Structure 1
Amino acid sequence: MADPTYSTLPSPPFDTISRIQYSPTDPNKLLASSWDSTVRFYHAGEPNERPSEQLVKFEHRAAVLTCCFSDASHGFSGGLDATIRHLEMGTEKITTVGSHTDAVSGMVFSDESHALVSGSWDCSLRLWDPRSATPQQANATTPERIYAIDMTNHNIVVAMASRLFSIYDIRNMSTPAQQRESSLKYMTRSLACMADGQGYATASVEGRIAVEYFDPSPATQAKKYAFKCHRHTVDDVDHVYPVNALAFHPVYNTFASAGSDATVSIWDHKVKKRLRQYPKFGNPVGTLAFNCDGTRLAVGVGYNWDLGEKGMHEKPGTEIGIRKLGDEVKPKNWTG
């Protein structure tokens, strides 16, 4: 029997979906970047209203690793060709903003500063003002390749190789406000900042998530913790999977995690409990995002090369799924 709370979008990318991002103001619009060298802009509507559809497909020269919105009708993308591109949804126009010297691995847009922040495998974090004749405004050198970045309020969290983290204040990019080593023992796979601005969650290739806080005081740092997840015991053997994506709910500050075990879970990090695990997908879940009002969760499902080329032939196909959310994302003690 079909699940009435879950639907898929038409015309998904034909290769691994690298990132999904919802519009900051329209709960029915989203961007999806892919290793098939495209960024796709979708309307994701209710089946009984306007049907879901792909509105625009932006072609790139190489695999696209990341994308983000600046407002409801403009976005940015970056990937293996090291180029930062500005995307106009209405005109389908693509403009080059600038470039790194290696792959662009992460980007976020600050509404308050009207600035794009990009991170790269070239060990740099760059700040761009797309409106300026000279868009690049700042360039910070990082000690390692950047794997992921996210932002909340003025804090930019940068996850790097060698399990390193830097926290920058967007108002002063000359030096990190904090530098940390991961609480997890293995390579960082994903990162997301809390909706309330207090901290962030990070996850590793070894089925663990860590909850961290910005306030360096001993009392606050005593609250940080890590836990095991996305693991399954089969015939007394513990199978451990990478945690590929994290996302915080914009209203409740609970968070979702997605793994190569093809599952998505919702967590209440304040009480250290899992609130829900959704039915298993047919392939790993590589990316996910809540929409701006927190009523839906989008997931990017598809083979992500954890098993090499052999696995690509065993499990072909991708999908972008939209789950309509209920009280399962709400903390048990939520008072509103």
Structure 2
Amino acid sequence: MSLFGQTAAASSANTTGDISKDVALNAPPEDGISDLKFSPQSEHLAVASWDKKVRIYEINAQGGSEGKALFEHEQPVLSCCWSKDGTKVVGAGADKAARMMDLSSGNTTTAQQVAAHDAPIRCARFVDIPQQNTQMLVTGSWDKTIKYWDLRQANPVASVNCQERVYSLDVVNTLLVVATADRYINVVNLNDPAKFYKTIQSPLKWQTRVVTCFNDGSGFAVGSVEGRCAIQYVEDKDSSANFSFKCHRAQQTGVGNSNNTNVFSVNAISFHPQHGTFSTAGSDGTFHFWDKDAKHRLKGYPEVGGPITATDFSRQGNIFAYSVSYDWSKGYSANTPQLANKVMLHAVTGDECKPRPKTGGRK
């Protein structure tokens, strides 16, 4: 029994969500989808792909979509992000470069290189550094470093060595969390960005796939390859609220399999911008909405036709986007042309993502 009272494999009528009205994005990427991010200022969605492109779509109120801009890398793109003002989109990838398109310039086809590493760049995010008068870019690479970039300069402002290859990073306010191979998680206070405020081993026993910060910057969620998610607070005084739970697991069926469980990777975690609840999505092709404070699963959704590789909520939280494409969890041999490759838009309605009412003094 998990701390949420039931694993993601369990379901009942009131916790099973509906994906029948989810709308597919028009003209999706031609290869695996590695990342997607909504603009913080408008109804636009950036999508990064193994086809070496970052695409920007406009989403209308009915869920319709139209491609508005596109730029290319020399190798697969592994990450994308938006500037706070919604005018700039950055892609980062296997060509060891980060490239930026300035949409305010009217340019919709080319991007300038703004960052470089000695190995593929796995993650890129815009950050606000206190006492700095400009938003910066932070990049995390398989060269075992994170670098900060003032986009007006050719060289990084600072470079910080990590223990291992960077697999995931996220930022909210002054909290930057960097997850690497060998289960290291580095916490950075952006008031002092050139050093680690704290380093821990992941509370999960197997490889980290994703870290995502809470909306208030007090902590973060960790997802791993063993179908588990951990809720972790930064400060020791809040450590009693740390916990982990099982998700993205399914009982095997058939004679003799009753005690066996299939375990799937947790590939993506996203927090709802208003409610602070969060989603998990995985290699099993399902996504779920959770309330971390009530330790409760809000909704679980049916399998969508392939692994889910990336997710994000729109700025108002009324749209949940998820990409369906191969995630390499079963190796090279399982990658076939028949696999789905699409981005779906799910309208968030009713109480799908609303926290549970607080009862009986339970937090």
- Which band: TM-score by shorter chain? over 0.9
User: Quick one: distance in 2 between partners of 1:232 and 1:3?
Assistant: 19
* Alpha-carbon shift at residue 271 of structure 1 (Å): 1.1
* Alpha-carbon shift at residue 4 of structure 1 (Å): 6.5
The answer as to whether partners of 2:229 and 2:244 remain within 8 angstroms in 1 is: yes
* Alpha-carbon shift at residue 73 of structure 1 (Å): 2.5
Give the corresponding residue for 2:36: 20
Residue from 267, 271, 276 that aligns with 1:244: 267
Helix, strand or coil: the match of 1:203?
strand
Give the corresponding residue for 2:150: 129
* Alpha-carbon shift at residue 88 of structure 1 (Å): 2.3
Q: 1:68-92: per-residue Cα shift (whole Å, max 9, x none)?
A: 0013221111110111111123302
* 1:263 partner letter: T
Which residues of 2 match residues 1-336 of structure 1 at below 5 A? Answer: 5-26=21-42, 28-47=43-62, 51-70=64-83, 71-89=85-103, 90-92=106-108, 93-111=110-128, 114-130=135-151, 132-217=152-237, 220-235=238-253, 236=258, 237-313=260-336, 315-326=338-349, 327-333=351-357
Q: Percent identity?
A: 33
Give the corresponding residue for 2:9: none
Helix, strand or coil: the match of 1:162?
helix
C-alpha change, 1:3 and 1:221, in structure 2 (3 Å) is: closer
C-alpha change, 1:59 and 1:270, in structure 2 (3 Å) is: same
The answer as to whether partners of 1:157 and 1:165 remain within 8 angstroms in 2 is: yes
The answer as to whether partners of 1:283 and 1:315 remain within 8 angstroms in 2 is: no
User: Quick one: distance in 2 between partners of 1:275 and 1:314?
Assistant: 35
- Give the count of matched residue pairs: 328
The answer as to whether partners of 1:14 and 1:317 remain within 8 angstroms in 2 is: no
Q: 1:209-231: per-residue Cα shift (whole Å, max 9, x none)?
A: 000001122xx111100010000
* 2:243 partner letter: Y
* 1:114 partner letter: Q
User: Quick one: distance in 2 between partners of 1:269 and 1:154?
Assistant: 22
Helix, strand or coil: the match of 1:221?
helix
User: Quick one: distance in 2 between partners of 1:314 and 1:19?
Assistant: 20
TM-score (norm 1): 0.93
* 1:103 partner letter: P
C-alpha change, 1:272 and 1:306, in structure 2 (3 Å) is: same
- Whichever structure has more strand as a proportion of its residues is 1
* Alpha-carbon shift at residue 175 of structure 1 (Å): 1.5
Helix, strand or coil: the match of 1:10?
coil
Q: 1:46-67: per-residue Cα shift (whole Å, max 9, x none)?
A: 338xx41111121211000001
Structure 1: 5+ residue stretches without partners: none
* Alpha-carbon shift at residue 279 of structure 1 (Å): 2.4
* Alpha-carbon shift at residue 3 of structure 1 (Å): 5.6
User: Quick one: distance in 1 between partners of 2:19 and 2:276?
Assistant: 26
